[in-house]
Amino acid sequence: MDLAGLLSFLFFMTDLTGKRIAVIGAGLAGIAAAHALTSRNAHVTIFEKSRGYGGRCATKRWQGHVVDHGAQYFTLRDERFKHAVQQACGDAIHRLELPIRDEENRILGDTGRWFHRDGNSRLARDLAKGLEVRTETPVEDAPALLQEFDHVICTAPWPQTAKLWGLDEHEIDYIPCLAAVFAYRGDGLGRTQETYAFRSRSTPLAWTACENHKPGRIAAGSTVIVTHLGEAFSREHLERPPAEYPSLVRTWIEDRWELPKTAYDLALGHRWRLARIDSAHPSPCLPPRVHFVGDAFKASRVEDAWLAGHEWAAKNHLMD
């Protein structure tokens, strides 16, 4: 077979014209998979239960502020992801300039930490341009989708996917994370002028970051701090109402950032029941024509979730 023959054979093998594919979830993995399959001529429909895009790459509009309460920033290490982000978002992507410090106050290495000017969930929205996405459409009867679609690709965290198909939800364990967001009166308070975030592996205050370092996000005259609690603490307090989380950790925040207690304004809590995995997993067994893709294949990071979806859809022939 000559080169032209080989290329047309490969195209025939990977062309998905006429295939109807449902993707459950408009997070980074679902959007990446949908794009890769659409580029092979499949007809792809994404079903998303929430109002917005992005899943755990989430942004909240709160008290005049735009706050990332899920993924805080993303990396652009892989050329394919970088290219897709630059194409989709243009100049809306910015780099975090100030450092992250550890418990000992040492500055952590930085290969580039990026955020979307309008909120990190907008990264997902921009990447989904041109795709058919049905928001506020939770899939409740997943097997019924197989009557309408040739394949169903599930990108909800495994315990949610497993429930949809009556499978063992404990096959992949996800670690929970409690989040608390604090607003203080005044700009540039305490250590927020010289540090973007503190990360700790040995204290419950696993992550605490100042959102003011994402320009245009925080209303004038306020300092906003996002905090993620570590695994042990999150498991211990998981079933408490989220509104109680800030009061559990407020003193630590004020000590860590050297904030004046009198400047405290208000706070909110958020429960991430299925926040992240601790290591990559192989795909569990699923019914024919059903597939599972997501950050569980690689690492719980925005870039890895996108790569998981992109690579899976580029490799998988879905010819049956």
Interface ranges with ligand FAD (CB under 6 A): 24-30, 47-50, 55-57, 70-74, 138-139, 155-157, 160, 177, 179, 228, 272, 275-276, 294-295, 300-303, 305
C-beta of 57 vs 225, nearer to ligand FAD: 57
Interior CA angle at 102 toward 119 and 110, to 5°? 55
Q: How far is the CB of 177 from ligand FAD (least distance, A)?
A: 4
C-beta of 197 vs 259, nearer to ligand FAD: 197
Q: How far is the CB of 199 from ligand FAD (least distance, A)?
A: 10
C-beta of 88 vs 275, nearer to ligand FAD: 275
Q: Exposure string (b/e) for 84-116, b if CB count within 10 Å is 16 or more?
A: bbeebbeeebbebebbbbeeeeeeeeeeebbbb
Tokens of 27: 């997070």
Residue 282 DSSP code: P
Q: How far is the CB of 56 from ligand FAD (least distance, A)?
A: 4
DSSP assignments along 137-173, one per residue: ---S-HHHHHHH-SEEEE-S-HHHHHHHHT--TTSS-
C-beta of 50 vs 63, nearer to ligand FAD: 50
C-beta of 180 vs 221, nearer to ligand FAD: 180
Q: How far is the CB of 194 from ligand FAD (least distance, A)?
A: 20
d(CA 265, CA 300): 32
Residue 143 burial (CB count, 10 A): 12
Q: How far is the CB of 30 from ligand FAD (least distance, A)?
A: 6
d(CA 250, CA 265): 12
Q: How far is the CB of 226 from ligand FAD (least distance, A)?
A: 9
C-beta of 237 vs 301, nearer to ligand FAD: 301
Mapped onto helix, strand or coil, the DSSP state of residue 231 is helix
Pick from 52, 42, 70, 30: which is nearest to 292 by CA?
A: 30
